[in-house]
Structure 1
């Protein structure tokens, strides 16, 4: 049907009116708080409001509540709506509708790091963050409640509490990549109507009446907070000592300081004689010691600072310590003496300081070629757990795509440093540094063309590496266990590590964890260790575009394969390819030869004497025996459990394997209770079977449920628990039998009904408090607040 011009004009006018009315309604909604409580004052929380005499103490009362009830979800880059409850400044900054983790963005995003990219709440408003505290002009208790989103969301949970049994309401989405609801200002009215179960804490029981009342009073009082306390005299003295050490004027001292900073910028540094264990961060500043720190806010630690002279300064860590980012690193007199011996006392020339060009910064072997290779390797080996932890706890490791490049559990060893190794490595790097450039020098990167280019560079490096290795063997070097570092005379426990993947998170710990050897192992030398750090830590930009993230993930395939190659060459020559093929079932010959057989190969045989037909298992056993003198106090073997009856039951639990575990969780916490005895805590870690991990976005097709195994360790291992279980010691046999008998989701529902502390459990927070207290007591150096964003709901 044809419409007349008159009819068309009427329809257009009607549509225009509707659009105008809609816009007016939106504007009216935005102005609701302004009409009720006066115009917004974005500068209200630019500084901490000083408390009155009868105000609730933020330090003594409020932050402890936030730590136990809010930080468990709202911390780090993956905090929902970027709302961080880890400090007053995090609350004052507010929330954002923009995700930090976004695997689809075509252009790099602007960084939004608390304490780095803006100093004041009003500056965060300019960056699109919205307040969760009341910033209207009328500073009354009513205004602070009504216009403060934080109070509204806490009150919503009180009005609509969780059910006290079963699972949480189905309308609550707990998936890691869920669409986030981040109401801004008066949008909270619609949010409350649309999501009555969306109060805070999200998907967990509400606060106790006392906790809620304390927070309400504090918010009504205008969110006051005590000034930041001055540092103790001892801390100030240690800071001055270390800043003098890091800021020497010679070119040698400046180059070493840059190297140390680019490896320690994520560390939680602490002084050995500080009984309070306060943590500090090493930052770049445009100002020297004695002046206020002016932190240089570059995207990455390798980027051009834009100042004539960089000063390395120590600043206090101002946020609550959370397990998922906690990387403690001790500073003491022996450490300083060790670094002097490695880097400053030897005689060598540093004729110029390297620049910060993107191509140079993407190649640490060029940047730091003047520093002795032996010194660099020893620097990283001394705290190898910390070095590897950088890619485990740094910003790169979040989500399945970032982690499907590694097996679920594998052991990590290191090539032994020696004069011959160090000299040959220095010679090799002098000729091959150009082949070791990394694909992450830019935050905006193309998708596949850079990867192809760097794949060709990797091929060239593997050929050169294989040729150099063959030459060393021909000159008399032996391929045997002495190639593997045993911790040296000091028996450094960093010589043996275990890495565990938990689907979309991971852990690394000292020691060879697990009652049975893993399927794979890596042996890492200096070039590989350095590239792991720069690819996934120093050069990685969490705000980078999809190309930057994708190329980081794809290049990590090469690094895994290098570590596996170094393990394979210790095997008899005639078994290497068979073991490689068992690791890469279904993959192309080209992929398998990337590990061993193509550009990566060694024709010489192993000098190790094997006695069985399963050299892989035998070699892992030899390495385990070689590392036996090293301390394994943090996560001891179940065999060392003093209670014989409990030991027997735990060993039976650890023996559960196969398809039944597919219905269980990646990482769980088990509390074992016995009358009259303290609760014992254990971590249950599923090691998921795979045909291969050399794939991209096809993980489900590679699963081998029949090869699933379970690792049981005493204590808390993993920052993102998926489930909590509580059993009486006498119930352990039933728990084990039920776990081994899972065959459906209905079976797991029955299992959880019997043993799990679910999200809806009225005792959830009491269980959580006991867990965190036990964690801190047993592991005071490494413990932090756990993350509950991945807790199941079934």
Structure 2
């Protein structure tokens, strides 16, 4: 079945085929704003409870299902249920197991009406801790009561109406929603339509990716596979308008006829046209991975990919082998062009696999440290780019697992791909040993994407330009084979609906990717220090993993960097900050205070004083700052200056681990006495775990109490005084002010944040 969308069909789908609506109520004007304010923070993306996505009329009309997206134990892959992609319209979704939450059931009101009524009649005690019997977060059992099961749910969970365990709807909002539901829940929403200028740019970009010729076809396919996750925006486009690349059976100028394969590099089964369609529904931060297009970007792409006389003699096909090894699939495209394209927007690519669009996953994130930095190898120092012989030897070894999801073959498949990877690492180690020792020119410094900071928050992670926080335990160095493999393994080839075999193979290979990035960095350190660093990164059981799965490092070849032998990594960081300060190293006086003034210059004096006080909490191990034990992963500090200005800071808990080399048993490898805090201006998580609202003049008192809090009881007093609990009367005002802050500081990145992980402190 094919789906023709964007124009005629999107309008039909989003209308839900509704009957005549009431004269005084509009879904667009009256209903979606309520959903956006009070519901989307939990009901968006794949981790919507019961897959009920309230970011659009299509999602509300689709309804709910008992089928989970996240299931790490299923033996067979699940049918994908991507909104605006795998089906359109209520009837089509019901054929996939969804049931309505908007339709009345005989004499019974709609399921949504009853859930809202349950929540409205049981309001929370203002800013009080919630009852312990209300389970929150990702450990909550998702019951997904169908309409006929509501009475049983209400009897068993009388305090768990909607919105769940949070300050609810105002009386006016409640009455508006109930009137709308009683009138049949008509939906008048229309699809987002590009402006005239945007429509012209869409045509220009589609023409580029669909240009005739074998060379052009191969480049178009490669670009699509690297853009399919992007929320594209045009530099001169309308604010809030974003677009997404899809594959269509129809060319530019005709309605899009979507090819909705599981992966972007699956066999389309027909001639492909790459098309841009508008991103529909409310923008949520966790899936909002932005990418700019402009005339300058088009000129750059033409310069990279269409200069020179390289040729394509035969277009590659599709299938598992082509998915497993994009280096072989696209070997005709100059490697220099491919790598440079990814470097130009390195933050985007690292976000695709670190922050990612799948919205959750401790199994994916527990392979990485809680905070580290990422650097990139300069193309002119990358053997895969500069040496055709080396490239020919390396390419067959760069294939990735996960294409065969036979559960019984997991171990044999894993061993095969691990051995290939280790053969590649040995080739890389020995080949680089013949080159001049690495120096500062080894690092790419082409633009402000060159230095990135990654913070993991248990089951999610974030990526930010610049070097944030104290010197991290590990630093990653990407070359082209590593960056491309990471992107394909974790973004292009990863199937969130896949079975246990696919997910296990993906996670196990990511462990090898991390190890490869660490080994790359170690070549910059003095040879006699490398084993010591490796022993620190792989303590206890990690030593067994090094023996079992990792290739030996080069601990002989010297570095050309002149580093302090007592602490070469810290000296490397100090020199890096000095050399690349103008590039976007981001001075960070709160976390890296090297003098008397531990605050940013040229900000409100009250905020300067606040930052000076906050700096006392950073870069101190939990053994000397006991309050860290009480803190969640990502806490937001909203600080109000007397002038009326407010600043938002992320207070991030960096959990220490003896190693991050295993799939299970993470808590057994915690080192809580070594946990630290990072505090930085901005919202550095899509999933706030808690929030404090503090007048600037009270920040020193807040810091004093944090320093003196030795147990849960003393921490609770801090929460009582400054905390914004889920039951706070102004919870939504403060919560959405985080998004407004993003709009004020970087409006393209604005999106509704997720509160599924907001804790009951």
Task: Tell whether the structures are fold-level matches, with TM greater than 0.5.
Answer: yes
Find the aligned partners of 1:463 and 1:594 in 2 and give their Cα distance: 15
* Cα distance in 2 for residues equivalent to 1:319 and 1:745: 41
Equivalent position of 2:593 in the other structure: none
Q: Could you tell me which of 391, 415, 426 is aligned with 1:429?
A: 391
Q: Paired residue for 1:179?
A: 141
> Which residue pairs with 2:214 in the alignment?
251
1:511 matches 2:466: yes
Provide the residue aligned with 1:552 in structure 2.
Answer: 506
Matches of 2:589 and 2:489, distance apart in 1 = 32
The residue aligned with 2:65 is 96
Deviation at 1:158, TM superposition (A): 1.0
Which residues of 2 match residues 257-336 of structure 1 at below 5 A?
A: 257-307=220-270, 309-336=271-298
Label 1:409 to 1:419 Cα distance change in 2 as closer, same or farther (>3 A).
Answer: closer
Residues 1:128 and 2:69 aligned together: no
CA distance in 1, matches of 2:26, 2:427: 63
Aligned pairs for 1:636-651 within 5 A: 639-641=599-601, 642=603, 643=605, 644-651=608-615
Per the alignment, in what secondary structure is the counterpart of residue 66 of structure 2? coil
2:231–2:288 contact (8 Å) kept in structure 1: yes
Q: How far has the Cα of 1:456 moved from its partner?
A: 0.9
Q: Is the 8 A contact 2:13 2:58 kept in 1?
A: no
Match of 1:681, SS state, is strand
* Cα separation, 2, equivalents of 1:340 and 1:281: 21
Alpha-carbon contact 1:720-1:789 (below 8 Å) kept: yes
1:464-492 CA-partner distances (Å, limit 9, x unpaired): 11121122x2xxx23111101122xxxx1
Which of 493, 511, 526 aligns to 2:480? It is 526
Tell me what 2:538 maps to: 584
Correspondence 1:672 to 2:672: no
Equivalent of residue 352 in structure 1, options 314, 317, 322: 314
Q: Show structure 1 runs of 5+ residues with no match.
A: 1-42
Find the counterpart in structure 2 of residue 483 from structure 1: 442
> In 2 relative to 1, CA 786–705 (structure 1 residues): closer, same or farther, beyond 3 Å?
same
Cα deviation for residue 51 of structure 1 reads: 6.1
CA distance in 1, matches of 2:275, 2:189: 25
The match for 2:87 is 118
The alpha-carbon deviation at position 242 of structure 1 amounts to 0.9
**What do residues 221-249 of structure 1 show as CA deviations (whole Å, max 9, x unaligned)?**
33231433543211211111111111011
Work out whether 1:607 is the aligned partner of 2:566.
Answer: no
Would the alpha carbon gap of residues 120 and 636 (structure 1) be closer, same or farther in structure 2, given more than 3 Å must change? farther
> Is the contact between residue 562 and residue 595 of structure 1 (CA under 8 Å) also seen in structure 2?
no
CA contact (8 A) 2:64 2:101 kept: yes
CA–CA distance in structure 1, aligned partners of residues 244 and 415 of structure 2:
37
**Cα distance in 2 for residues equivalent to 1:427 and 1:646:** 57
Give how far 1:45 is off.
8.4
Q: Following the alignment from structure 2 to structure 1, what is the Cα–Cα distance between the partners of residues 716 and 396?
A: 56
Cα deviation, 1:702-743, whole Å, max 9, x if unaligned, reads 111221111111121100011011112222222223323343
Cα distance change, pair 358–331 in 1 and its aligned pair in 2 (3 A): same
Give the alignment of 1:652-667 within 5 angstroms.
652-659=616-623, 660=626, 661-667=628-634
Which residue of 2 is the match for residue 16 of structure 1?
A: none
Matched, 1:569 2:534: no
The correspondence for 2:427, drawn from 451, 454, 464, is 464
In structure 2, relative to structure 1, the CA distance for the partners of 1:71 and 1:593 (3 Å cut) is: same
Q: TM-score, normalised by structure 1?
A: 0.89
Q: How does 1:717-728 map to 2 (within 5 A)?
A: 717-728=684-695
Map Cα deviations across residues 605-664 of structure 1 (whole Å, 9 max, x no partner).
111112341111111222222221123679896642433422311222324431421211
Q: Secondary structure at the match of 1:630?
A: helix
Question: Mean Cα displacement is larger for which, 533-542 or 340-349?
Answer: 340-349
Report SS of the residue matched to 2:584: coil
- For residue 94 of structure 1, report the CA deviation from its aligned partner: 0.4
Report how far residue 194 of structure 1 moved.
Answer: 2.1
Structure 1 match to 2:27: 58
The CA distance in 2 between the partners of 1:58 and 1:315, in whole Å, is 23
- Counterpart of 2:8 in structure 1 is none
In 1, the alpha carbon distance for the partners of 2:359 and 2:566 equals 38
5 Å matches for 1:11-30? none
Measured in 1, the distance between the counterparts of 2:523 and 2:358 equals 30
Q: Distance in 2 between matches of 1:112 and 1:275?
A: 30
Q: Which residue of 2 aligns with 1:497?
A: 452
- Give the match's secondary structure for 1:376: helix
Matched, 1:627 2:580: yes
Question: What is the TM-score when the length of structure 2 is the normalising length?
Answer: 0.92
Please give the alpha-carbon distance, in whole angstroms, between the structure 2 residues aligned to 1:394 and 1:469.
32
Alpha-carbon RMSD across the aligned residues, in angstroms, is: 2.2
Provide closer, same or farther for how the CA distance between residues 635 and 235 of structure 1 changes in structure 2, counting only shifts above 3 A: farther
Contact 1:397 1:403 in 2 (8 A): no
Q: 1:536 aligns with which of 490, 502, 506?
A: 490
Gaps of 5+ in 2: 1-11, 591-597
Q: 1:444 to 1:222 in 2, by over 3 A?
A: farther
**Distance in 2 of aligned mates of 1:444 and 1:83:** 31
Aligned position for 1:693: 660
Q: 1:115 to 1:464 in 2, by over 3 A?
A: same
Q: Are the aligned partners of 1:251 and 1:350 in contact in 2 as well (CA < 8 Å)?
A: yes
Deviates more, 1:361-370 or 1:757-766: 757-766
After TM superposition, the structure 1 stretch with the greater mean CA deviation from structure 2, 339-348 or 649-658, is 649-658
Q: Does structure 2 retain, via aligned residues, the 8 Å contact 1:469–1:602?
A: no
- Look at both structures and tell me which one has the larger radius of gyration over its CA atoms: 1
Q: Distance in 2 between matches of 1:305 and 1:635?
A: 48
Greater mean deviation of Cα atoms: 439-448 or 689-698: 439-448
Q: Relative to 1, partners in 2 of residues 1:756 and 1:419: Cα closer, same or farther, differing over 3 Å? A: closer
CA distance in 2, matches of 1:680, 1:405: 33
Q: Which residue of 2 aligns with 1:20?
A: none
The question of whether the paired residues in 2 share the 8 Å contact of 1:46 and 1:122 is answered with: no
